[in-house]
Amino acid sequence: MTTHYVIADRGATINLPPLAGATRWLAVAHAGCLRSQCAGLSILVQVRGRSQVLAREGRFELKPGDWLVLDRDSAPEVHADRHGVTLGVVAACDHGGRRPDLLPGAGRMSASDLRIALRLWRNGVEASDVARTSGERTIEERTTQAFHAMSQHIAALQRALDGGIARSPGRSISRKRQVFGRMQRAKLFLEGHRDRVVRLTELAELTSFSIWYLSKTYHEIYRESPQAASVRLRLERACELLAESACSISEVGIACGFDNSCSFARAFRARYGTTASEYRQRHAEAAIIDDTSASTHALAAHSRIESIAHVASGEPRREAHSRSRPEPRRDIAVASVFDRVARLERDAEAKVGTRSGPERTHDRTAESVIWLAS
């Protein structure tokens, strides 16, 4: 078994050829690109920034904390933006004589789970680095354990899919998981093609099921038909474009796979109870309110720092004529907050410098702690 890691960083483009029985630990960062042709299960985790993933299931945009599991013939292509960092592993499905207990799908993880995934990825890279210079069987077992630790961590995040497995048809658990895995791939295909209408024949070809069996099973598992899921996903993408882009309403409708603006307006109003223009206006007003609240918090912080500064200096606060003075500008107040904090830090350092005694130390980072403790 061959195990190693590949890093595509700072605009580099790397093509991974197919290699049987191999485990590849991947990293794509800072406008890098990686194309994988390995016939194995792919696990991708977004650490920071954003990345675009092109696979047989479609196009996916990964944000910090997102994870993505693709099937063995997906052939993912990962493009990171200038701040993006994507970590992953591609492994054969019979890795170590065992099949990974993972299902195709996408989701989000918490910050603590993301730190665990990062450490597991580092352990796999370290084991691969040692395996390059040593052919001992213990090293091979170590790399196998590193991969299974990563797969088990992602499998724990897929516990929410147990309900869908229970609703899947089949007499045994293995058959239920097999059917649900194919339905998960169909769901990923819908999520990866939110810019057009997906035909049932495409889903049937992807899952190797008949159209009738696909529609019936999909509705039993996810409580909605594939057509309804496609419309819902395209309208959710329309909401994202309305909030983040300056495209016109008709351009948003075309970008989400609607034939004309009338059909887009009817579908949008039927689902959200409002028009697309009203949705954009409400979102803009909510953003303005958030900015105003942030400025209010900055003014309150400025006032608290002014009070602390007057108390520390022993000077009485000048509250007379405060009502007659105009309200300071918010940007000036925010800048004054940072200036006042810097001055207070310099004053504290000056007080520490004037003290003498056995508690003095040459470590400037510990001077304030020692002064406060004494």
| CATH number, position 214 | 1.10.10.60
- 9/66 same-domain check: yes
**CB contact set of 305 (below 8 Å; sequence gap of 6+):** 337, 340, 341, 344
Q: Which of 273, 308, 343 is the last residue of a domain?
A: 273
Q: Does residue 296 share a domain with residue 239?
A: no
Q: What domain count does the chain have? A: 3
d(CA 250, CA 209): 36
Domain membership flag for residue 279: no
Amino acid in the structure at residue 226? P
- Spell out the residues 6+ positions from residue 69 whose beta carbon is closer than 8 angstroms to its own: 41, 42, 43, 44, 102, 103, 104, 105, 106, 154, 158
Q: Print the domain residue range for 48.
A: 2-157
Cα torsion through 166, 170, 175, 177, rounded to 10: -20
In angstroms, the CA 368 to CA 345 distance is 9
Report if residue 337 sits inside a domain: yes
d(CA 180, CA 101) in angstroms, rounded, equals: 13
Asked if residues 310 and 316 have their Cβ atoms less than 8 Å apart, the reply is: yes
Report CA-CA distances (Å) from 213 to 164, 172, 193, 227, 311: 16, 18, 22, 14, 75
Q: What is the mean pLDDT of residues 309-313?
A: 57
Do residues 261 and 343 share a domain? no
Strands (E), the chain: 2-9, 13-16, 22-29, 33-36, 41-48, 51-55, 58-62, 66-70, 77-80, 85-91, 105-108
pLDDT tens for each residue of 102-157 = 999 999 999 999 999 999 999 988 887 765 555 555 666 777 888 899 999 999 99
Residue 164 placed within a domain: no
Assess whether 140 and 196 both reside in one domain: no
| pLDDT score at 355 | 47
Q: Is 214 helix (H, G, I), strand (E, B) or coil?
A: helix
* Arithmetic mean of pLDDT over the chain: 81
Q: What percent of the chain has pLDDT over 90?
A: 55
Identify the DSSP state of 325. Answer: S
pTM for this predicted structure: 0.74
Least confident of 84-98, 191-205, 270-284, 349-363: 349-363
Whether 346 and 218 map to the same domain: the answer is no
How confident is residue 21, by pLDDT bands cut at 50, 70 and 90? low
Return the DSSP state at 361.
Answer: -
Does some domain include residue 321?
Answer: no
140 and 79 together in one domain: yes
Contact 221, 180 (CB under 8 A): yes
Indicate if 185 and 262 belong to the same structural domain: yes
What's the pLDDT score for residue 322? 43
186 within some domain: yes
Question: Burial, 72: exposed, middle or buried (Cβ in 10 Å; 0-12, 13-18, 19+)?
Answer: middle
Q: Quick check: is 147 in a domain? A: yes
Do 140 and 189 sit in the same domain of this protein? no
For residue 28, the number of C-alpha atoms closer than 13 Å in the C-beta half-sphere is 30
pLDDT at 321: 46
The last residue of one of the domains, among 157, 183, 206, is 157
Q: 104-142 burial, b for 16+ CB within 10 Å, e for fewer?
A: bbbeebeeebbebbeebbebbbebbeebeeeeeeebbeb
Judged against a pLDDT cut of 90, whether residue 295 lies above it is answered with: no
In a domain, 242, yes or no: yes
CA–CA separation, 180 vs 169, rounded Å? 9
Residues 16, 100: one domain? Answer: yes
> What mean pLDDT comes out for the span 350-355?
54
The two tokens of residue 70 are 């693709």
Domain stop point among 133, 157, 181: 157
Summarize the confidence of residues 182-205 as an average pLDDT.
95
Strand order in the sheet with 51-55: 13-16, 33-36, 77-80, 51-55, 58-62
Return the pLDDT at 18.
79
Q: So what's the pLDDT on residue 314?
A: 59
**CB contact set of 357 (below 8 Å; sequence gap of 6+):** 374
Q: What is the pLDDT of residue 51?
A: 96
* pLDDT number for residue 128: 74
Find all residues with CB under 8 Å of 66, minimum gap 6, and list them: 45, 46, 106, 107, 108, 109
Tell me: do 289 and 266 sit in the same domain. Answer: no
Nearest to 44 by CA among 154, 207, 193, 190: 154
Amino acid at 308: I
Q: What are phi and psi of 320, to 5 degrees?
A: -70, 145
Q: Are residues 152 and 7 in the same domain?
A: yes
- Helices H / strands E in the chain, number of each: 12, 11
Closest CA to 287 of 244, 246, 330, 235: 244
Q: What is the CATH number of the domain that holds 41?
A: 2.60.120.10
95 and 227 inside one domain: no
Name the helix (H) or strand (E) containing 363: none
Tell whether 162 is covered by a domain: no
